[in-house]
Structure 1
């Protein structure tokens, strides 16, 4: 991309599934972006979304060869991410890619190394960093409003498990669901020195039969003694429960749930209020919009990407450490995982 910045963006979307459809609307709603093409391994899915959005469909090769395309957004299946990131950057395109970079840590690391060598612009889609409430919490912490951080508690409960077909291809609860929380912890506190994980299958026996957990807790241990806990479940019947608490030397800051309504009914019998919104798209739609604008603004300004491929590798590294910890029933040092990948 020559001078490292553009004045407006022509964007090609690769992947026309559920998350691709969301991104198609996000791009089209952004005044600084133009959705120029849609590609998908399933031509019928690409055509359907293309007709809905009024956008032409092409194959990936045509997208990468088109010099008028400034950026590609990768929302295809996870097993295609690293390859498409590399092909996109090799073609001189800026790349926005949904998480994760890959399910295999070694492959993700190799991708990051290649991307960093090209100098091309790549952002990984950890949308929760762009939630305005989470950003307000981070700003308060960085500004020293509670002093030195001591404990971080992240709660991330889904209302119901995804289909088993998704579970079996997702890479597991740590690589799929909790990877968002690993990234949030890294965003707030940086990389820990060790990980302790516990998990079980309480929601659906079929998930356990597939070799996965649906209920998990992870402790992140930091070199200076700080501790972070992450709690995940695939079943919170009352809604999409997403909270962060950060305790510091002089106080606590927290972010609560986004609820279906702000109405609270109080009476002598007690109080009633609404549950959290039930679906992640409702909870994080604002974050998805802000995430895309942040990507586009980084390209317009030539500034750094807010979430890098290296950030994606680091979140995957914590997921890998958690999986080892669960399997071996012990605390795992991050250096041990690095040694396995490079040894």
Structure 2
């Protein structure tokens, strides 16, 4: 609408002026509205303007008093926006515009070449504070040729003049005797704000008739003082830290995350290509640092499909009884263990004893004693044993933890976790899951202790099975836990196996200074509908863990690779996973006994601060 070079108050105000005209009568249109809005000459925004008259060109050099990101052009060339008549410098304080005397609508009158150069601070609009200069190169008066003649063309010496003028092409031109002009008897002349003559204050027309227009002018100009400099002058705007996807995009552009990868690709093996294994296989196949050397899975009927779908043409598929092939392959640096829990300890021991790093789905082993043996063996072998508590690597939870540790809510008084599973797991899965406390609640316990940096000294848990089939296998589908921490913080866990409206994942931290929450995320977060009288309807939340924590799974794999390449320190330590298992067992015992259970901790067992 307003891409011309007239002031916005004039060119974008048709509706309001029409309203003013309606109120004041038809005579309002006979008044000179432009005179109410004139821009006029300016002695600000520039430090110096210099004209140099060549034999066949004009050159104007402009120095501004601040960073300048507007445009500089000869009058009449704005819309073409082509050099040499137009300059879009983006940023800086010193600029030069050089154009032939035969171009850029330069006028010739009796050997006097003239043009107007406009210094416009906004890319699209001429506004008060912009400046314009009439440039004149006068070849009409002969001079001392031996001193100042153009020896190449034989032209007489030139005198030069700069006059300040109105940048608005519709503005009224001042008569020559009232112009602020600087002249020179040479080919170069300079003009500065000090050369501007004080203007006599003009008598403003009465607003008796133009009341509506004058009111509009006052409103339109009232916010002009808030006009920001061009964004090119201010410099590029950086993305907020929370935009983690943009940060990853920048890494890909700059390839900063790939530095140090000259050590070559990491050859890896996957044990178990089931529910969790397929998630990790997706991360591995899409990671430029990884080569999937082996897939170990006892369901041979899936091998061809897995190889075809993930393009694993150079990968070897094995049964678990042939795992030694993986352990004996010195080229394999790391393994991912996503097989049934009963197989974990044997696979971990074989991999560690053959010098390989391990990424393991929780739990590390069937019981705490076995898990502790695995961690002790990893320490003796000097290899990484990483237990994947994926929620620590979720961007929202990570940010919440960081802000809690910075004291944003003060001392945490309560922390609440709501975790309701979707879809309802199969009975076959539940039979081997280890129970709701060790399969589900461990994630909620871990995230709570990780955020707080402490472990509870007392837990009280209640459970119930509303689903007959779950009750029949001795498990529960609904759990409530209260955790008491030494600092006085109270933690609450609300846990269900069956949420029919999606995968419900919420976290709340409350303190004397306020509250922080992580609410449910949606795959179509910006989509809403307003149909009939049903009000505002949003799209459903994520359906299951694999979609809600997709980024967390990718991030935890990146972290594991960084650790084994020496780029990062392990963020999930062995004694932390053992502590979470101990707390889950205490909750299970509390629910069974119907009473609180006390916990004690050694100094070496406490979480890192």
Q: TM-score, normalised by structure 2?
A: 0.52
1:145 aligns to 2:408 (yes or no): yes
* Pairs aligned (count): 331
Closer, same or farther: CA 82–310 of 1 in aligned 2, 3 Å: farther
Alpha-carbon shift at residue 302 of structure 1 (Å): 5.2
1:30 aligns to 2:287 (yes or no): yes
Match of 2:332, SS state, is coil
Distance 2:588 2:557 in 1: 31
Match of 1:108, SS state, is helix
Aligned residues of 1:47 and 1:57 also touching (Cα < 8 A): no
Partner of 2:582: 317
Aligned residues of 2:327 and 2:351 also touching (Cα < 8 A): yes
Closer, same or farther: CA 112–66 of 1 in aligned 2, 3 Å: same
Match of 2:463, SS state, is strand
Alpha-carbon shift at residue 51 of structure 1 (Å): 4.2
Closer, same or farther: CA 129–207 of 1 in aligned 2, 3 Å: same
Aligned residues of 1:17 and 1:45 also touching (Cα < 8 A): no
1:172 aligns to 2:456 (yes or no): no
Distance 1:92 1:85 in 2: 11
Closer, same or farther: CA 50–309 of 1 in aligned 2, 3 Å: farther
1:294 aligns to 2:596 (yes or no): no
Aligned residues of 1:245 and 1:252 also touching (Cα < 8 A): yes
Q: Which runs of 5+ in 2 are unaligned?
A: 1-261, 602-609
Distance 1:6 1:124 in 2: 25
1:120 aligns to 2:383 (yes or no): yes
CA displacement, residues 45-89 of structure 1 (integer Å, 9 cap, x when unaligned): 445423433222133111111110010000100111122222211
Closer, same or farther: CA 183–128 of 1 in aligned 2, 3 Å: same
Closer, same or farther: CA 85–310 of 1 in aligned 2, 3 Å: farther
**1:59-208 pair list within 5 angstroms:** 59-189=322-452, 190-202=454-466, 204-208=467-471
Aligned residues of 1:8 and 1:300 also touching (Cα < 8 A): no
Greater mean deviation of Cα atoms: 5-14 or 187-196? 5-14
Distance 1:183 1:87 in 2: 28
Match of 2:547 among 262, 268, 282: 282
Distance 1:132 1:115 in 2: 29
CA displacement, residues 180-210 of structure 1 (integer Å, 9 cap, x when unaligned): 11111121123211211100011x2110111
Match of 2:506 among 236, 243, 262: 243
Match of 1:183, SS state, is helix
CA displacement, residues 298-341 of structure 1 (integer Å, 9 cap, x when unaligned): 112253212233322222111111110011111111239xxxxx
Name the structure where helix makes up a greater proportion of residues: 1
Alpha-carbon shift at residue 111 of structure 1 (Å): 2.2
Partner of 1:256: 519
Match of 2:591 among 326, 335, 342: 326
Alpha-carbon shift at residue 20 of structure 1 (Å): 1.2
Partner of 1:39: 296
Alpha-carbon shift at residue 138 of structure 1 (Å): 0.8
Aligned residues of 2:482 and 2:493 also touching (Cα < 8 A): yes
Q: TM-score, normalised by structure 1?
A: 0.91
Distance 2:422 2:279 in 1: 20
Distance 2:569 2:343 in 1: 25
Distance 1:47 1:265 in 2: 43
Distance 2:375 2:586 in 1: 19
Q: Which runs of 5+ in 1 are unaligned?
A: 337-343
Match of 2:537, SS state, is strand
Aligned residues of 1:122 and 1:305 also touching (Cα < 8 A): no
Match of 1:57, SS state, is strand
Distance 1:103 1:276 in 2: 33
Aligned residues of 2:337 and 2:360 also touching (Cα < 8 A): yes
Aligned residues of 1:7 and 1:300 also touching (Cα < 8 A): no
Alpha-carbon shift at residue 230 of structure 1 (Å): 1.0
**Which has more radius of gyration?**
2
Aligned residues of 2:424 and 2:499 also touching (Cα < 8 A): no
Aligned residues of 1:146 and 1:251 also touching (Cα < 8 A): yes
CA displacement, residues 139-173 of structure 1 (integer Å, 9 cap, x when unaligned): 11112211111111011101232111111111100
Distance 2:281 2:564 in 1: 19
